[in-house]
């Protein structure tokens, strides 16, 4: 009796075009205990296509969040997202469950050192659009407004 290999299950994680379209930022900042922690912000840029309605953008971002693990709002205990960060030399890659693709994060030596030292980074996923060209001041305003409106999801991305 001949048997055929099972076809691989279709990927449920984000595809390369969605990952490539993301706006990403990394920075170091104080954690709850006062020590410096690495931070990652993922957002979708506004108005790339006519299909980029607020509802569609939020759905894409929730899909990305679901592929990383259980992300939560500001008032919940931040869950561990074990093994989704990979440090390879001076590069840091964010891996997504159900996808064979990862996202290379913008990194500078101090930020990469924090990820390497602590084995983690605070992951912030924005549900509303934000252009990649946003300056540090614009990011602060955006994050403050999104936090008040409960439009951010959080997780603690960890290295394996």
6 domain-assigned: no
SS3 52: coil
45 domain-assigned: yes
Closest CA to 152 of 84, 90, 92, 142: 142
108 domain-assigned: yes
3 domain-assigned: no
pTM for the full model? 0.89
The pLDDT score that the predictor gives to residue 11 is 54
CA 160/CA 80 separation, integer angstroms: 11
The domain of 133 spans 16-158
CA 102/CA 96 separation, integer angstroms: 6
Q: Are 82 and 160 in contact (CB under 8 A)?
A: yes
User: Cα dihedral sign for 43, 11, 82, 91?
Assistant: negative
31 domain-assigned: yes
**Scanning the structure block, which residue is given the tokens 């290999």?**
5
Cβ atoms < 10 Å from Cβ of 149: 10
The pLDDT score that the predictor gives to residue 16 is 87
Round to the nearest angstrom and report the end-to-end CA distance of the chain.
42
**Total domains in the fold of the chain:** 1
1 domain-assigned: no
42 domain-assigned: yes
- pLDDT, averaged per 10 consecutive residues of the chain (160 residues), comes to 43 83 93 87 86 90 93 92 92 92 92 95 96 93 96 96
Closest CA to 127 of 141, 142, 105: 142
The pLDDT score that the predictor gives to residue 77 is 92
11 domain-assigned: no
């Amino acid at each position: 009796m001949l048997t055929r290999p099972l076809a691989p299950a279709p990927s449920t994680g984000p595809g390369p075009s969605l990952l490539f379209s993301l706006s990403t930022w990394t920075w170091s900042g104080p954690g709850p205990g006062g020590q410096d922690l690495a931070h990652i912000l993922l957002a979708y840029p506004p108005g790339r296509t006519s299909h980029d309605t607020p509802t569609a953008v939020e759905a894409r971002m929730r899909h990305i969040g679901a592929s990383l693990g259980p992300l939560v709002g500001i008032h919940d205990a931040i869950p561990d997202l074990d093994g989704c960060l990979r440090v390879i030399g001076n590069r840091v890659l964010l891996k997504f469950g159900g996808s064979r693709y990862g996202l290379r994060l913008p990194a500078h030596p101090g930020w990469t050192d924090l990820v390497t030292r602590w084995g983690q980074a605070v992951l912030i996923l924005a549900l509303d659009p934000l252009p990649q060209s946003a300056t540090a001041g614009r990011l602060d305003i955006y994050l403050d407004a999104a936090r008040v409106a409960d439009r951010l999801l959080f997780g603690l991305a960890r290295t394996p």
